[in-house]
Structure 1
Amino acid sequence: MREKLGFLVCVWFVLYGSCVARFVVEKNSLKVTSPDSLKGVYECAIGNFGVPQYGGTMVGTVMYPKSNQKACKSFDDVDISFKSKPGGLPIFLLADRGDCYFTLKAWNAQNAGVAAILVADDRIEPLITMDTPEEDDARADYLQNITIPSALIGKAFGDDIKKALSRGDMVNINLDWRESLPHPDERVEYEFWTNSNDECGPKCDSQIDFVKNFKGAAQILEQKGYTQFTPHYITWYCPEAFKLSKQCKSQCINYGRYCAPDPEQDFSRGYDGKDVVVQNLRQACSFKVANESGKPWLWWDYVTDFAIRCPMKDKKYTKECADQVIQSLGIDLKAIDKCIGDTEADVDNPVLKAEQEAQIGKGSRGDVTILPTLVINNRQYRGKLDRGAVLKAICSGFQETTEPAICLTEGIETNECLENNGGCWQDKSVNITACRDTFRGRVCECPTVQGVKFFGDGYTHCEASGALRCEINNGGCWRKTQDGKTYSACIDDNTKGCKCPPGFKGDGVTSCEDIDECKEKSACKCPECKCKNTWGSYDCSCNGNLLYMREHDTCISKEASTEVSWSFIWVIILGLAATGLGGYAVYKYRIRRYMDSEIRAIMAQYMPLDSQGEVPSHVPHGGV
């Protein structure tokens, strides 16, 4: 339901002052690539219907019909088809503003086979946002079926395109939505401005369908920390002079502080606007309580279940029904009731007061004046509320290479690495590539494989570096097995590059050739030596009864070697024997000395030795 709440707010504001609502026109860039006279980049305003290609681009050639130039009639009636031919560029229809709704122009253009529609303004003014029609006209069945993107261009630019086409020039245009939404980091923050009212016809039905269809993707993104979602609800206040009026009493709570329009636009039957405000408050509080418990994604379950179980048409749009849904989801009902507070009291409600303040635009985001409105990274989304379209827009809000896997699935974006590897480096032998698919396209970035980091420009080369680099495709170096031997030019340490092993020469990458040590006289150079080259090494032998010593590259006599060896052994044996005998003699001498000293000590205790005199006796002396 695309309710123009900004108009209603202004009506009340005008009674007491000027309307200060600030609506921001969301834009994308339009680049003319030919003819030369028009080359350049122009601004165009994104239409609030159809499916803008957020995060992507679209190339086409412009056609301006000779009849039905405002595209208000079906092109079947004028026997014109704009379907592109095989191998040709898609067709962008240029249509004039006026006589019918923007959405009807887009619908007729889509049925004629065009890829996008450009509407040229009929007056000189700043760009505006093309929106869906209001009231009864919004019930047209085709509104939800428009899928082509649309954009409004300025009158002067439109006139220049027409002149170029009249001269026979081909006008080629690139529509670029890649920078329509900010994409600063690895998390997307988005808000959904909605309403619990379900009695506004096809627009309310489409909003409920969107919530049901998008719930799964929204909850996965939120649970895994890719997004931060916040629901919002628009309310306005009743001017002081009308607080006691029947209209304010039926549409507002808390003494005219928070109001919503009557669902049926009839104050005498059905539900009132204040019922909508209370339910909006209950949904906002359910999110607040669920978010505080660490489960903000439960809001999607609550809103979906409430729409199914408690519709207005079945007279179940009540607190009792809502409480049953809340309890079934395990959300703290008492905490929600406390958050809602007393809706009849003459006091501010903190939640709804914050919602009113949030409606006012800040920074690059304008005031929220249309329901429903999706705000992604502080920019208002334009286009159809469709699961695929909204998911594509959210995916365009991630910084390149940080988007979740769901953003790279078929149907959301085109994998540019599938064709010619995106023009990036690759090693087909082990299926390693520098091409990384992102939502906006591809980047050529040397990969990390099994803990091994590759370095390079990503386009012409990538080289493994660090420990274990030889485990991945041998570090990109030469390697060969022959005659039962394997040689490699990769050194498994923290170095980079390739170096042929000893016995080989070459670049180490594409080849290493065996060095013929015999031919180059780099080994086996002694006169008696005979050299035989082998793969990666050599064998050297000596003439006659000679033995080759590789470490000295020389030949020696086998007999002389034997004699020398035995003589050396005998010297060792004799030396060991002499050492043993000397040690034994010392041992015997020390043992004898020790024994003599012990014997002398024992004998001294029992008899005086010759060297000792007699010892006088000591007699007790009584003395007088």
Structure 2
Amino acid sequence: MGLDRPLQRLFLGFLFLSLTVSSCVARFVVEKNSLTVTSPESIKGNHDSAIGNFGIPQYGGSMAGTVVYPKENRKGCKGFDEFGLSFQSKPGALPTFLLVDRGDCFFALKVWNAQKAGASAVLVADDIEEALITMDSPEEDGSSAQYIENITIPSALIEKTFGEKLKKAISGGDMVNVNLDWREAVPHPDDRVEYELWTNSNDECGVKCDMLMEFIKDFKGAAQILEKGGYTQFTPHYITWYCPSAFIVSRQCKSQCINHGRYCAPDPEQDFSTGYEGKDVVLENLRQLCVFRVANETKKPWVWWDYVTDFQIRCPMKEKKYNKDCADTVIKSLALDSKKIEKCMGDANADAENPVLKEEQNAQIGKGSRGDVTILPTLVVNNRQYRGKLEKGAVLKAICSGFEETTEPAVCLSGDVETNECLDNNGGCWKDETANITACKDTFRGRVCECPLVDGVQFKGDGYSTCEVSGPGRCKINNGGCWHESRDGHTFSACLDIEGSKCQCPQGFKGDGVKTCADIDECKERKACQCPECSCKNTWGSYECTCSGDLLYIRDHDTCISKRANEEKSAWTAVWIILIGLAMAAGGAYLVYKYRLRSYMDSEIRAIMAQYMPLDSQAEVPNHVNEEHA
């Protein structure tokens, strides 16, 4: 006869305690994220909060929201629609973070009810003064299974004292704004992420097993890309317990354990009298560990994902194929060395330690910043336990948050991981709808609100409510936010491309320069064209003046003159120009003549004088008279 259900659960409890009691350093670490109150000033500051182990925490990112504490259904154990309450945030407003009290129902049910009512995140206030604990999902039953896998919003447990402060501020009429931050929830020291999956080959353990199996199938492709590219180092692990000495010879222990009670797993159906036994699960777990080790020796550790997914599909318990023969067909199809795998597995009946499984039990004990692995399944990323739903996009986000900034591979920027937070209400950032320019920048670690640089033109402002173009070239971007309009091929703008300038209507217009610039009727308002013979016609942005008859309008002098008089004046001007030109030519000729005549006379005079007296430049003329006649 098998144990009845209460006694069976007690026995399984002993199996669980057997591991934790075996080590005095065993401990469970509560994974936390940062919660920052940004307003009101009276409670502003940073606080710890414990990440819920369901839903989808925003690893690598952050969320800002407004905290709301409901007037009814404060524990969130009933649907909020029964009370006519909705927490859906309005367009342009911050998301709603619902604060509920602990007690009376499962944590996951509180979060599910809040999610259905439109909340973006949930804070659960503890009801006793204690250290933070991890909110885990409940034991699966028909009712909880319907909502656990559909929870998509993050949740966190906060301390009682802090919860009271939030409630007091809200009841006093203050707007309480907080920021949930998961950016440091996973260390990101370098360009490689090391992660572990504590899993189980049992496919008949309820909703959690179904979710685990589905996750492994979905995640296989991304995991193999990361591993083949050298971006990650993945290691699978399997939880086992040892049987307390008082139960080693019992039928129950023998059916659930191998190696004389050293390595045990719970009965798949939780019924010792039927179906598969716990030791069947331990053997398959061991086989999968050895598949990984053999594949790793050939530098192809990613083959483990192929084996596990194929085994799930081809060898399910429901079809009575969960056995060695089916496993061997999968091993053969993947060209793995079956002899090496058998050698790795060792003798399950030996009264001795199994090196592989002993190493797994030792690894369950927390070391460093990582606590004990007690929740199955558990994902560990860079030595931190992942909290939340095992879902491809959520897990990829957690793994990708473990890369040092700018070193993450392309798969981390794909749609599977990087949800564009700017698509939802523009991330709460400033946006110019007209030019489709936004201050929201979506990065892997979350959106940031920064005024953009567009075509070399920098916007300035806080990024949330204001961003204004500034500096040279600002009129190129949406006309600097100023008025502009085109008509009949003419375009006018109120933008001045000068640093610090404001929108100013151009000449011929009046208005605020931003939304409106109306045409000025110069004919009426400025009394243009005032000469007696003038007539004025207003145009868009300017005016036109004409003169009666054959008169010509001179705009600079606001006068009309005769076209004929103007032509005669032009003709006389031409005559005078010609006469002046002739006079200047005659004067020039006369000056040339005078110059040449004077030069000629000078040369003649010098020649004549040279005959009668020596010049300084000539030799003295000799005297030919005899001295005797002197």
C-alpha distance in 2 between matches for 1:359 and 1:379: 13
Deviation of 1:220 (Å) = 0.3
C-alpha distance in 1 between matches for 2:159 and 2:10: 24
2:206 to 201, 205, 222: 201
Deviation of 1:459 (Å) = 12
Deviation of 1:369 (Å) = 0.3
Structure 1 spans left out of the alignment, 5+ residues = 424-434, 445-457, 461-624
Deviation of 1:201 (Å) = 1.9
* 2:226 pairs with 1:221: yes
Q: Deviations over 1:279-328 (max 9, x none)?
A: 00000000000011111001111000101100011110000000000100
Which residue is 1:182 aligned to? 187
* 2:311 pairs with 1:299: no
C-alpha distance in 2 between matches for 1:229 and 1:109: 36
C-alpha distance in 1 between matches for 2:233 and 2:10: 27
TM-score using structure 2 length: 0.65
Q: Deviations over 1:418-447 (max 9, x none)?
A: 999x99xxxxxxxxxxx9955456899xxx
C-alpha distance in 1 between matches for 2:326 and 2:10: 29
Q: CA, structure 1 residues 209+13, in 2 after alignment: closer, same or farther (shift >3 Å)?
A: closer
C-alpha distance in 2 between matches for 1:221 and 1:144: 26
Deviation of 1:409 (Å) = 2.4
Q: Where do 1:474-553 residues align within 5 Å?
A: none
* 2:285 pairs with 1:280: yes
Q: In 1, are the aligned partners of 2:125 and 2:160 still within 8 Å (CA)?
A: yes
SS in 2 for 1:30: strand
Q: Where do 1:461-480 residues align within 5 Å?
A: none
Amino acid at match of 1:243: I
* 2:395 pairs with 1:390: yes
* 2:102 pairs with 1:119: no
Which residue is 1:130 aligned to? 135
Deviation of 1:413 (Å) = 2.6
1:27 to 20, 25, 32: 32
Which residue is 1:146 aligned to? 151
Q: In 1, are the aligned partners of 2:140 and 2:207 still within 8 Å (CA)?
A: no
C-alpha distance in 1 between matches for 2:356 and 2:459: 53
Q: Where do 1:357-368 residues align within 5 Å?
A: 357-368=362-373
Deviates more, 1:242-251 or 1:133-142: 133-142
* 2:378 pairs with 1:373: yes
SS in 2 for 1:211: helix
Q: In 1, are the aligned partners of 2:199 and 2:377 still within 8 Å (CA)?
A: yes
C-alpha distance in 2 between matches for 1:6 and 1:56: 39
Amino acid at match of 1:327: K
Q: CA, structure 1 residues 411+247, in 2 after alignment: closer, same or farther (shift >3 Å)?
A: closer
Deviation of 1:175 (Å) = 0.3
Which residue is 1:258 aligned to? 263
Q: In 2, are the aligned partners of 1:60 and 1:174 still within 8 Å (CA)?
A: yes
Q: Where do 1:561-576 residues align within 5 Å?
A: none
Q: In 1, are the aligned partners of 2:420 and 2:442 still within 8 Å (CA)?
A: no
Q: Where do 1:53-452 residues align within 5 Å?
A: 53-136=58-141, 140-410=145-415, 412-413=417-418, 438-439=444-445
Q: CA, structure 1 residues 139+39, in 2 after alignment: closer, same or farther (shift >3 Å)?
A: closer
Amino acid at match of 1:380: Q
SS in 2 for 1:145: coil
Q: In 2, are the aligned partners of 1:408 and 1:415 still within 8 Å (CA)?
A: no
Q: Deviations over 1:545-570 (max 9, x none)?
A: xxxxxxxxxxxxxxxxxxxxxxxxxx
SS in 2 for 1:77: helix
Amino acid at match of 1:385: L
Q: CA, structure 1 residues 438+146, in 2 after alignment: closer, same or farther (shift >3 Å)?
A: closer
Q: Deviations over 1:558-614 (max 9, x none)?
A: xxxxxxxxxxxxxxxxxxxxxxxxxxxxxxxxxxxxxxxxxxxxxxxxxxxxxxxxx
Aligned length: 432
Amino acid at match of 1:270: G
Q: In 2, are the aligned partners of 1:199 and 1:263 still within 8 Å (CA)?
A: yes
Deviation of 1:140 (Å) = 2.2
C-alpha distance in 1 between matches for 2:241 and 2:81: 46
C-alpha distance in 1 between matches for 2:385 and 2:10: 15
Deviation of 1:152 (Å) = 0.3
Amino acid at match of 2:119: V
Q: CA, structure 1 residues 459+86, in 2 after alignment: closer, same or farther (shift >3 Å)?
A: closer
C-alpha distance in 2 between matches for 1:322 and 1:10: 28
C-alpha distance in 2 between matches for 1:19 and 1:143: 34
Deviation of 1:136 (Å) = 3.1
2:47 to 17, 20, 42: 42
Deviation of 1:412 (Å) = 2.5
C-alpha distance in 2 between matches for 1:416 and 1:77: 31
Deviation of 1:12 (Å) = 3.8
Deviation of 1:346 (Å) = 1.1
Deviation of 1:347 (Å) = 1.5
Give the RMSD, CA atoms, in angstroms: 2.8
C-alpha distance in 2 between matches for 1:417 and 1:104: 30
Q: CA, structure 1 residues 78+283, in 2 after alignment: closer, same or farther (shift >3 Å)?
A: same
Which residue is 2:549 aligned to? none
C-alpha distance in 2 between matches for 1:141 and 1:186: 39
Q: CA, structure 1 residues 33+398, in 2 after alignment: closer, same or farther (shift >3 Å)?
A: same
Amino acid at match of 1:153: I
Q: In 1, are the aligned partners of 2:15 and 2:243 still within 8 Å (CA)?
A: no
C-alpha distance in 1 between matches for 2:375 and 2:137: 11
Q: In 1, are the aligned partners of 2:101 and 2:125 still within 8 Å (CA)?
A: yes
SS in 1 for 2:83: coil
Deviation of 1:247 (Å) = 1.3
SS in 2 for 1:43: strand
TM-score using structure 1 length: 0.66
Deviation of 1:4 (Å) = 12
Q: In 2, are the aligned partners of 1:138 and 1:203 still within 8 Å (CA)?
A: no
Deviation of 1:234 (Å) = 0.5
Q: CA, structure 1 residues 459+348, in 2 after alignment: closer, same or farther (shift >3 Å)?
A: farther
